[in-house]
């Protein structure tokens, strides 16, 4: 359980357009242990999906540029391997559940074909063997195998998401990237899908990076948490460290904006302002314009990582003991 499956070091990614350069990911460090689930949380535009796509190397080729960094999977730098080798890894050792199940499936192919296609490519199964395995995967995610020959439009949103999960897990990947897998679903279906993913994770011993806005999901599903803001990881640690000892002002703001059953408050406390323009990031701390504790140095100098306790790392001057 202590062995690192994935390590990301100093990853920097830009998107180039005709008008500007978007600084999407700005020197992040992340790691995922075997069998562990990492929750990646933060506002829209924080760079979460870009991080996930960079692991699979499926960023848009003309616009995206990886400036620096390493993405080591099982000790091998994925940014250095050939495209041919990456095709053997995608869907096989590393799989991704995309955000919208409505658009993730091919509308003109049966759901059975879309599951079995992965099996035939990576596991070299015959058509008959792939069909049998695909039927088993459908049953595993709670869909009757007799629906193998049906099309995506014949399924509800929750059922489509189950199919997408079946495709992602078909080859028993060692790492699953789940990009907001429950965003398009209603609350009851969300709970069912997350419970099912937790059961499959235990059964298949799969590591997971779960991208989400929902801190409640993180608390129940994840082992560790990384809080993303403006392309940086501003706080990371175990679930207990983050939830019990909130340190970064942004993380503090995320928790304060949630409803609490143990308090009688008439209004929630949103984080004031907006995330900075990624094409014109501030010179100092990226959160300084919205931070209630901002000092003069926050606007001029970027804070370094501070380790509060083993594994709990925060990027903030306020917790640096006045250094």
Q: Residue 61 CA to chain centroid, in angstroms?
A: 21
d(CA 132, CA 148) in angstroms, rounded, equals: 10
Domain ranges of the chain: 4-93+173-319
Smallest CA-to-CA distance from 140 within 117, 170, 113 is with: 170
In which region does residue 258 sit, left (phi positive, over 0), alpha (psi from -120 to 50) or beta (all else)?
beta
- Mean confidence (pLDDT) of the chain: 88
d(CA 234, CA 28) in angstroms, rounded, equals: 9
Reading the chain (323 residues) residue by residue, the pLDDT tens digits are 447 899 999 999 999 998 899 999 999 999 999 889 999 998 888 999 999 999 999 999 889 999 999 999 998 999 999 999 999 999 899 999 887 777 889 999 999 999 999 899 888 889 999 999 999 989 888 899 999 999 999 998 888 988 988 898 888 889 999 998 877 667 777 777 788 778 878 887 889 999 988 888 888 889 999 999 999 999 999 999 999 999 999 999 988 877 666 667 667 778 888 899 999 999 999 999 999 999 999 999 999 999 999 999 999 998 876 44
DSSP 3-state of 14: strand
CATH code: domain 4-93+173-319 is 3.40.50.300
pLDDT tens, residue by residue, 110-136: 999 999 998 998 888 899 999 999 999
Q: Residue 231 CA to chain centroid, in angstroms?
A: 13
Strands 37-41 and 224-229: parallel
What are the residue ranges of helices labelled H in the chain? 48-56, 83-89, 101-104, 111-122, 127-140, 157-169, 187-204, 215-221, 239-244, 249-256
pLDDT tens, residue by residue, 175-198: 999 998 877 667 777 777 788 778
């Amino acid at each position: 359980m202590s062995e690192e499956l994935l390590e990301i070091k100093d990853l920097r990614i830009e998107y180039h357009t005709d008008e500007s350069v978007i600084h999407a990911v700005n020197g992040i460090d992340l790691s995922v242990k075997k069998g562990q689930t990492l929750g990646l949380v933060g506002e829209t535009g924080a760079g979460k999906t870009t991080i996930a796509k960079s692991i699979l190397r499926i960023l848009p080729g003309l616009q995206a540029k990886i400036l620096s960094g390493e993405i080591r999977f099982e000790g091998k730098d994925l940014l250095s391997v050939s495209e041919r080798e990456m095709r053997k890894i995608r869907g096989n050792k590393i799989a991704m559940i995309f955000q919208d199940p409505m658009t993730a499936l091919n509308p003109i192919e049966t759901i059975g074909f879309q599951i079995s296609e992965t099996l035939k490519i990576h596991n070299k199964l015959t058509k008959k063997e792939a069909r049998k395995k695909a039927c088993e995967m459908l049953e595993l995610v709670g869909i009757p195998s007799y629906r193998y020959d049906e099309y995506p439009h014949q399924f509800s949103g929750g059922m489509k998401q189950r199919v997408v999960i079946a495709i992602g897990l078909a080859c028993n990947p060692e790492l699953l990237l789940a990009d907001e897998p429950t965003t398009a679903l209603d609350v009851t279906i969300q709970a069912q899908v997350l419970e099912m993913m937790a059961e499959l994770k235990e059964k298949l011993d799969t590591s997971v990076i779960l991208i989400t806005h929902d801190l409640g999901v993180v608390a129940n599903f994840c082992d560790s948490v990384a809080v993303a803001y403006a392309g940086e990881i501003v706080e990371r640690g175990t679930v207990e460290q983050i939830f019990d000892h909130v340190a970064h002002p942004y993380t503090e703001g995320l928790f304060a904006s949630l409803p609490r059953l143990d308090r009688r408050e008439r209004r929630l406390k949103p984080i004031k302002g907006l995330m900075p323009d990624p094409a014109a990031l501030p010179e100092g701390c990226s959160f300084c314009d919205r931070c209630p504790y901002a000092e003069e140095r926050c606007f001029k100098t970027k804070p370094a990582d501070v380790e509060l306790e083993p594994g709990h790392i925060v990027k903030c001057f306020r917790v640096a003991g006045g250094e």
